[in-house]
Structure 1
Amino acid sequence: MSPSGRSRTVVRKPGVAALSATVATGVLGALAAAPERVGRALRRRYPTVAVTGMTGVGKTQLADRLSRRSPADGAGEVGSAVMERRTRRSRRLHGFRFLVVPGDNAATRLGALDEVFHDEPVDGVIHVVANGYATPRRAGGTTGPTTASREDQLAAELEDWTITAHRIASMAVRRDKPVWLVIAVTKADLFAGDLDEVVRYYSPGSGSPFGAKVDELRALAGGARLSVDVLPVSSLGDGDGLTTKQASALVDRLATRLAQLSGHV
Structure 2
Amino acid sequence: MQSPLRHGRAALGTTIAGGALAALSQAPERASRVLRHRYPTVAVTGMTGVGKTRLADRLSRRASSQSSEETGKEVGSAVMERRTRRTTRLRGYRFRVVPGENAATRLGALDEVFHDEPVDGVLHVVAHGYATPRRTAGTSGAAMATRDEQLAAELEDWSITAHRIASMAVRRERPTWLVIAVTKADLFADDIAAAVDYYSPGSGSPFGDKLDELRALAGGAKLSIDVLPVCAQGGGRKSPLPDKVATEMLGRLELRLAQLSGHV
Determine if the TM-score, normalized by the shorter chain, exceeds 0.5: yes
2 CA distance for matches of 1:141 and 1:37?
A: 48
Distance 2:221 2:258 in 1: 20
> Does 2:30 align with 1:37?
yes
Using the alignment, how far apart are the partners of 1:164 and 1:15 within structure 2? 60
Q: Does 2:212 match 1:215?
A: yes
Q: What's the counterpart of residue 178 of structure 1?
A: 175
- State the distance in 2 between where 1:194 and 1:65 align: 23
Task: Report the alpha carbon displacement of residue 193 of structure 1 after superposing the two structures with TM.
Answer: 1.1
Residue 107 (structure 1) aligns with: 104
Cα separation, 1, equivalents of 2:16 and 2:113 = 40
Amino acid at match of 1:85: R
Corresponding position: 1:159 with 2:156? yes
Q: Superposed, which structure 2 residues align to 1:67-86 within 5 Å?
A: 67-72=60-65, 78-80=77-79, 82-86=80-84
Q: What count of residue pairs does the alignment treat as equivalent?
A: 253
TM-score by length of 1: 0.90
What is the match of residue 3 of structure 1? none
| Contact map agreement 1:47 1:122 (CA 8 A) in 2 | yes
Residue deviations 1:165-223, cap 9 Å, x none?
01101111111011000000000011111111110000000001111111111111111
Q: Give, in whole Å, the separation in 2 of the partners of 1:128 and 1:32.
A: 39
Q: Which residue of 1 aligns with 2:259?
A: 260
For structure 1, the 5+ residue unaligned runs are 1-8
Q: Secondary structure at the match of 2:170?
A: helix
The code of the aligned residue for 1:84 comes to R
Contact (CA 8 Å) 1:104, 1:139: kept in 2 or not? Answer: no
For 1:206, which of 203, 206, 215 is the aligned residue?
Answer: 203
Q: How does 1:34-73 map to 2 (within 5 A)?
A: 34-72=27-65
Q: Which runs of 4+ in 1 moved over 4 A?
A: 15-18, 141-144
Distance in 1, matches of 2:152 and 2:163, equals 17
Shift of 1:79: 2.0
- Quick one: distance in 2 between partners of 1:53 and 1:77? 12
Partner Cα separation in structure 1 for residue 131 and residue 261 of structure 2: 29
Residue 4 (structure 2) aligned to one of 9, 12, 21: 12
Over 3 Å counting, the alpha-carbon distance change for 1:67 and 1:52 in structure 2 is same
Distance apart, 1:84 and its partner CA: 1.5
- Equivalent residue of 1:105, what SS? coil
Q: Secondary structure at the match of 2:257?
A: helix
Among all aligned residue pairs of Structure 1 and Structure 2, give the percentage whose two residues are the same amino acid.
68
- Corresponding residue number in structure 1 for 2:69: none
- C-alpha RMSD of the superposition: 1.9
C-alpha spacing 1:209/1:104, structure 2 compared with 1 (3 Å) = same
Unaligned runs of 5+ in 2: 67-74
1:26 is matched with which residue?
19
Structure 2 distance, partners of 1:187, 1:210, is: 18
1:236 to 230, 233, 237: 233
Point out the structure with max Rg over C-alpha.
1
Which of residues 93, 96, 102 in structure 2 aligns to 1:96? 93
Letter in 2 for 1:60: T
Partner of 2:244: 245
Distance of aligned partners of 1:20 and 1:257 in 2 relative to their CA distance in 1, 3 Å threshold: same
